[in-house]
Structure formats: C-alpha cells, structure tokens
C-alpha cells in the first residue's frame, strides 16, 4: 500500500501506516478511486466499495484494514 501511494502521489515524506491520506497526502476522492483500482490490479482482488466512506480512509492503516475486510480474490 505504501509503495503504491508513494508511486502515485510522490509525497515529500515517507508514507507509513499512520500517514493521513487526505490531510498529509492530499488524496482526493478521484485519486482514492484510482488508488483502489491500482490495488485491485496489483493484488488481483476485487474490493467492495459500496460501504466505503471517508471515515474508513483516514490513515493508510485504516484503508488497509478496510481492504482486508472487504475484498475477494479474482
């Protein structure tokens, strides 16, 4: 996850599990969707985004937890 974020957003500081997606990385809703699509392709999974909201995307760790709980293999 951190590798994808670093590649996509090129942040000035290292990305960790505590990095704030919106506040520190400036992740917009359109970039978040692009990120999820990249994760799906990279990991060959399908992520259920029906119930995803900003509260579940506060930090990198939050997003990773959501993905782990709401994904299925392709």
Q: Is 23 exposed, middle or buried (0-12, 13-18, 19+ CB in 10 A)?
A: exposed
Domain 2-73 has CATH 1.10.630.10: no
pTM: 0.83
Whether 15 has a pLDDT exceeding 80, the answer reads: yes
The whole-number pLDDT of residue 29 equals 82
* pLDDT above 70 as % of the chain: 100
pLDDT in tens, 28-64: 888 888 888 999 998 899 998 887 877 778 999 999 9
Structure tokens of 63? Answer: 């997003």
The whole-number pLDDT of residue 2 equals 87
Residues 6+ apart with CB under 8 A from 45: 39, 67, 71, 72, 73, 74
């Amino acid at each position: 996850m951190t590798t994808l974020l670093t590649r996509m957003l090129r942040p000035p500081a290292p990305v960790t599990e505590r990095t704030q997606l919106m506040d520190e990385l400036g992740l917009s809703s359109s970039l978040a969707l692009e990120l999820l699509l990249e994760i799906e392709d990279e990991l060959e999974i399908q992520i259920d985004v029906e119930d995803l909201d900003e509260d579940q995307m506060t930090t990198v760790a939050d997003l990773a937890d959501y993905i782990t709980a709401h994904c299925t293999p392709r």
